[in-house]
């Protein structure tokens, strides 16, 4: 029985120790505690340059030259003969004259996106030959590249110039390229992959 009384006494002392500060000691004043004050940094200044909108001149559709639309034919692999010795490949025209640039306007599709054009020079079954022609065109300042395609289960390589927004620029260089490489190139609409 003494053992039970001793356990009861210990429990009462433990409860008293826990609740004594809550009941009999006054808490510290909560108003005395303050968080350190942080100052907001000054608002950053952003320099905004004035953006100029391009001026667009309205052109009557009747005044524009008509360009016949033709579907690109399915090309067969062509092996281009060596360039004729008396022919000279002209370089790309980096700065068109003002008169021709005034006539050239970019076309837009149904979604309002600009339409780009490419000049398809030839199609090769040999990638080295296609790269050689492409490099020759790049050396002359043209934006030429080789595009691999698969036609009738055969891997072919097309040599292309472009893309360009003005179809007229491709029309201007097409005869010189046709004569230089003895090919019949054609202009196709650029479709990104």
- Grouping H, G, I as helix, E, B as strand and the rest as coil, residue 189 is strand
How many Å apart are CA 95 and CA 152, to the nearest integer? 41
Sequence-distant (≥ 6) Cβ neighbours of residue 170 within 8 angstroms: 117, 118, 119, 161, 162, 164, 187
Q: Is 43 a residue whose pLDDT tops 60?
A: yes
Q: Which domain holds residue 169?
A: 116-193
The answer to the question of residue 131 being in a domain is: yes
pLDDT of residue 54: 66
Number of domains in the chain: 1
pLDDT of residue 31: 62
The answer to the question of residue 46 being in a domain is: no
The answer to the question of residue 34 being in a domain is: no
What residue has token string 């409860």? Answer: 15
The answer to the question of residue 83 being in a domain is: no
The answer to the question of residue 174 being in a domain is: yes
Lowest mean pLDDT segment, chosen from 14-18, 113-117, 123-127? 113-117
How many Å apart are CA 144 and CA 164, to the nearest integer? 11
Average pLDDT over residues 143-171: 90
Sheet with 117-124, strands from edge to edge, namely 144-151, 154-164, 117-124, 186-189
The answer to the question of residue 160 being in a domain is: yes
pLDDT of residue 104: 52
The values of phi and psi at residue 111, to 5°, are: -90, 0
**CATH for 167:** 3.30.70.1070
Which residues lie across from 122 on neighbouring strands?
Answer: 159
The answer to the question of residue 109 being in a domain is: no
Reduced to 3 DSSP states, what percent helix, strand and coil does the chain have, rounded to the nearest 5? 35, 15, 50
The answer to the question of residue 127 being in a domain is: yes
């Amino acid at each position: 029985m003494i053992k039970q009384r001793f356990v009861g006494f210990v429990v009462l002392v433990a409860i008293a120790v826990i609740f004594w500060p809550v009941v009999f000691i006054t808490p510290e004043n909560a108003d005395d505690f303050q968080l350190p004050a942080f100052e907001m940094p000054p608002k950053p200044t952003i320099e905004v340059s004035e953006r100029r909108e391009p001026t667009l001149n309205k052109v009557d559709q009747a005044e524009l030259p008509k360009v016949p639309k033709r579907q690109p034919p399915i090309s067969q692999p062509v092996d281009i003969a060596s360039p004729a010795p008396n022919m000279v490949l002209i370089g790309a025209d980096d700065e068109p004259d003002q008169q021709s640039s005034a006539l050239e306007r970019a076309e837009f599709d149904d979604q309002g996106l600009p339409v780009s054009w490419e000049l398809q020079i030839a199609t090769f079954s040999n990638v080295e030959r296609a790269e050689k022609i492409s490099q020759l065109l790049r050396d002359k300042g043209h934006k030429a590249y080789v595009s691999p395609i698969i036609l009738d289960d055969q891997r072919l390589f097309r040599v292309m110039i472009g893309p360009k927004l003005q179809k007229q620029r491709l029309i201007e260089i097409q005869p010189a390229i046709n004569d230089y490489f003895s090919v019949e190139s054609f202009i196709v609409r650029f479709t990104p992959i």
